[in-house]
Amino acid sequence: MKQVILAGMVGLALVGCNSGSSDSNTSAAKFNLAFSDAPVDSLKKVCVAFDQISVKQTDEDESSWGTASFAADQSSAECIPDTYSIPVDADGNPLFMVINLMAFQGEKSLQVLSDEALEAGTYTQIRLNAVASGDYGDPVNTPYSHVVTDSDQVMELGYTNANGKIIIPDSFEISASTAPKYTLEFDLRKGIVENKAHGYRLKTTAIRMVNNESVATISGSVGASSCSNDISDAHVYVYTTPNDGNYGDIQEDSPNAPYATTAVDASTGSFEVGYVPLGTYDIALVCNGSVDHPEEDNSAVLNIDTGSIHKDAVLTTENLTVTF
């Protein structure tokens, strides 16, 4: 798959420690990691701040990268309040990084790790150490990790894991003969939940690790005549097959829940779902996607246009284009 990286975002290297590997080690390999997301309704920004990335091997050994190599201008400027700058250490290195996930949708991604030394083997977990309010002071009452709603309300973003750890329990392989490139895909429609008393929280079960060598993009368009001539709330749902013709909602425990979803651009009818593993899928048009909530059973009211489903659509190394 061709990886799209925004200008100025390449080469943001994290400094490794405790990796257990060196240039002279025959099992030394390279690790690359980018961030991308599937968009969420009713939010303008989803800012995630973190100051460390760790991976765990099957033998419980860990490797970690901190922020000593971060450049301040690599953080998303729109996530940093006016008149404020990210604090730095004694050497001038930013103490954390903050990324607006909404800026990296579809095929777009932000390269976070580039060719970092890492011991070859099987890894069972990747963790981000999230930065919360008060960790580095309070920048004019705007939390470091936060969301901005369509009505410009700023609300804190918390996480389902304890102690500020964003834990993704996905296994992945690192080979000494290659430099695999991975992407953390944040499915925000499945993962962002509003809590009126405490802002929003990100369900880390909606974050997945994908190998860029075995993924592609599903994109296409929805005609203006679809959904009874109203595509203002149209969404596209991607289901793994076989699913026996049953199409669930985005609730975590829903039978036959979609692998991924995305909103249709109401003005152009276009849509894009990036970083989808190669395979066979049913691609469905949902005409009232905004009613779907990640913690509610909305399957009975979900309006799926069953007559237009692209059944057994095969996604190969080439991107797939579908039209409704």
Extract the tokens encoding 231: 């595509």
**CA angle, 116 as apex, 114 and 118 as ends, to 5°?**
145
Going residue by residue through the chain, which has 324 residues, state the pLDDT in tens, using 9 for 90 and above. Answer: 333 332 222 223 333 333 333 343 446 677 777 788 776 777 889 998 888 888 888 877 888 887 765 644 578 889 887 777 788 888 878 888 899 998 888 888 888 877 778 888 888 889 888 887 667 766 555 677 888 888 888 888 887 766 677 888 888 888 877 777 888 888 888 888 887 666 788 888 888 888 888 999 999 999 999 999 999 999 999 999 888 888 999 988 888 899 999 999 999 999 999 999 999 999 999 999 988 888 888 888 999 998 999 999 999 988 999 999
d(CA 5, CA 92): 26
Extract the tokens encoding 147: 């969301």
Q: Enumerate the H helices of the chain as residue ranges.
A: 188-191, 226-229
d(CA 248, CA 41): 19
Q: In this predicted structure, what is the pLDDT of residue 5?
A: 30
Say what the pTM is.
0.79
Nearest alpha-carbon partner for 50 in 127, 138, 156: 127
DSSP collapsed to 3 states, 69-106: CCCHHHCCHHHCCCCCCCCECCCCCECCEEEEHHHCEC
Is the separation of the CB atoms in 121 and 115 below 8 Å? no
- Phi, psi at 277, each rounded to 5°: -60, 145
Q: In this predicted structure, what is the pLDDT of residue 6?
A: 27
Q: In this predicted structure, what is the pLDDT of residue 4?
A: 30
d(CA 154, CA 128): 23
Extract the tokens encoding 11: 């080469």
Which one-letter amino acid corresponds to residue 221? S
Strand 108-119: give its sheet, edge to edge. Answer: 4-5, 108-119, 28-38, 181-187, 207-211
Extract the tokens encoding 16: 């490794």
Is the separation of the CB atoms in 90 and 51 below 8 Å? no
Burial degree of 241 (CB within 10 A; 0-12, 13-18, 19+): middle
Q: In this predicted structure, what is the pLDDT of residue 13?
A: 31
Extract the tokens encoding 82: 């006016």
